[in-house]
């Protein structure tokens, strides 16, 4: 009974907070309006937390989404066709695989959000590097960084809606992984074919052989751990992403002396494609249900991928600093 009385009192205070907001709005009192909104939000949080947990989670996610999306610049960057569309396309494989296995797809999607953001960012960065013809074009656009921001945001938001983390080590056969990789590849190929001009640059023989070499090494040194096919491919995808980052920094330092952006771009694009192929392998492995044994290890994996991509993009294709922006005519 005491709990019910406490909830009733909180509900009454919530009504008073809403009334105070209306009064502040009528008298154009910004301090009172801000205080009433904060009070109403805190009271609503307490009420939902002690009643229906699912409603509390939905309220928390909705509040975060509202705060983020109220910024018009953020909305424009996230819902750009070059960001949102390929990002959603890359999530088809994990969603379909979970539906076929009659499983909750939330953790499979969480494991795919960051690699999908890296893959989309790499595509946009690669197209920009290849098409770059002058030094003025060597300035990063939002479509280079917003995909990874979208992936990180969704990965943390969806953790609040996901059930407790569980990973049951299962032997993932080559057929299951191959199907998921094929679905992801077909989806991204169709997107690039219909929406990207000059999409043939996304298919590179050297980058493909680099991925193949990393996969060979991972299987060759799997004699002690005896990991499943999916687990080996997941590690190979991560190592391939790191290889792409290291090779891109190396090539950049070697080719920057040329001074001609038209010569530098294609060379760097090849290293970017190595990272793209590695990200697609990680997505396919995660779609099969392969992920680290704990959520902390999954977070660590995502941060390694994020650091690799952000590092090379900031080195090679950075945005203008505030001082440079103010100095422009």
Q: For position 1, what pLDDT does the model report?
A: 41
Centroid of chain to Cα 192:
19
Would the pLDDT of 116 be above 90? yes
Residue 329 domain flag: no
Q: Is residue 8 located within the same domain as residue 146?
A: no
Q: Is residue 241 located within the same domain as residue 191?
A: yes
Q: Is residue 156 located within the same domain as residue 34?
A: no
Residue 69 domain flag: no
Residue 252 domain flag: yes
104: pLDDT confidence band, cut at 50, 70 and 90? Answer: confident
Read off the pLDDT of each residue in 275-294 and give the average, rounded to a whole number.
88
Residue 56 domain flag: no
Q: Is residue 138 located within the same domain as residue 220?
A: yes
Instruction: Work out how many domains the chain is built from and give that number.
Output: 2
Q: Is residue 136 located within the same domain as residue 256?
A: yes
φ, ψ (nearest 5 deg) of residue 278: -65, -40
Q: Is residue 38 located within the same domain as residue 124?
A: no
Q: Is 140 within 8 Å of 213 (Cβ atoms)?
A: no
Q: Is residue 98 located within the same domain as residue 183?
A: yes
Mean pLDDT of the chain: 77
Residue 164 domain flag: yes
Give me the sign of the Cα torsion angle 24, 28, 34, 35.
negative
Q: For position 277, what pLDDT does the model report?
A: 92
pLDDT in tens, 165-190: 877 656 566 788 888 888 888 888 88
Q: Is residue 10 located within the same domain as residue 149?
A: no
Q: Is residue 136 located within the same domain as residue 233?
A: yes
Q: Is residue 149 located within the same domain as residue 269?
A: yes
Q: Is 275 within 8 Å of 207 (Cβ atoms)?
A: no
Q: Is residue 34 located within the same domain as residue 135?
A: no
Residue 61 domain flag: no
Residue 64 domain flag: no
307: containing domain:
75-319
Helix spans in 90-204 (H)? 92-100, 106-131, 142-159, 174-195
Q: Is residue 44 located within the same domain as residue 89?
A: no
């Amino acid at each position: 009974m005491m709990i019910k009385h406490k909830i009733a009192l909180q509900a009454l205070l919530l009504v008073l907070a809403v009334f105070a907001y209306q009064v502040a709005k009528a008298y154009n009192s910004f301090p009172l309006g801000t205080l009433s909104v904060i009070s109403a939000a805190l009271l609503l949080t307490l009420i939902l937390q002690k009643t229906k947990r699912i409603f509390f989670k939905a309220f928390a996610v909705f509040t975060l989404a509202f705060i983020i999306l109220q910024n018009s610049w953020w909305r424009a960057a996230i819902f750009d066709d070059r960001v949102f569309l390929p990002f959603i396309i890359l999530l088809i494989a994990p969603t379909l695989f979970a539906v076929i296995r009659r499983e909750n797809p939330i953790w499979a999607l969480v494991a795919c959000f960051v690699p999908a953001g890296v893959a989309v960012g790499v595509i946009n960065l690669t197209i920009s590097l290849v098409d770059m013809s002058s030094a003025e074009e060597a300035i990063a656009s939002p479509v280079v960084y917003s995909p990874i921001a979208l992936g990180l945001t969704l990965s943390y938001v969806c953790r609040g809606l996901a059930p407790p983390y569980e990973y049951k080590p299962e032997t993932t056969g080559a057929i299951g992984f191959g199907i998921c990789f094929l679905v992801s590849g077909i989806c991204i190929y169709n997107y690039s074919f219909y929406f990207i001009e000059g999409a043939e640059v996304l298919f590179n023989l050297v980058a493909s052989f680099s991925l193949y070499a990393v996969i060979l090494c991972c299987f060759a040194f799997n004699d002690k751990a005896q990991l499943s096919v999916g687990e080996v491919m997941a590690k190979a995808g991560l190592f391939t992403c790191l290889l792409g980052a290291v090779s891109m920094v190396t090539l950049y330092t070697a080719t920057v002396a040329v001074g001609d952006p038209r010569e530098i771009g294609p060379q760097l694009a090849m290293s970017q494609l190595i990272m793209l192929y590695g990200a697609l392998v990680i997505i396919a492995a995660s779609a099969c249900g392969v992920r680290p044994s704990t959520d902390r290890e999954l977070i660590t994996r995502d941060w390694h991928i994020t650091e690799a991509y952000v590092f090379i993009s900031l080195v090679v294709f950075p945005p203008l600093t505030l001082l440079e922006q103010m100095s422009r005519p």
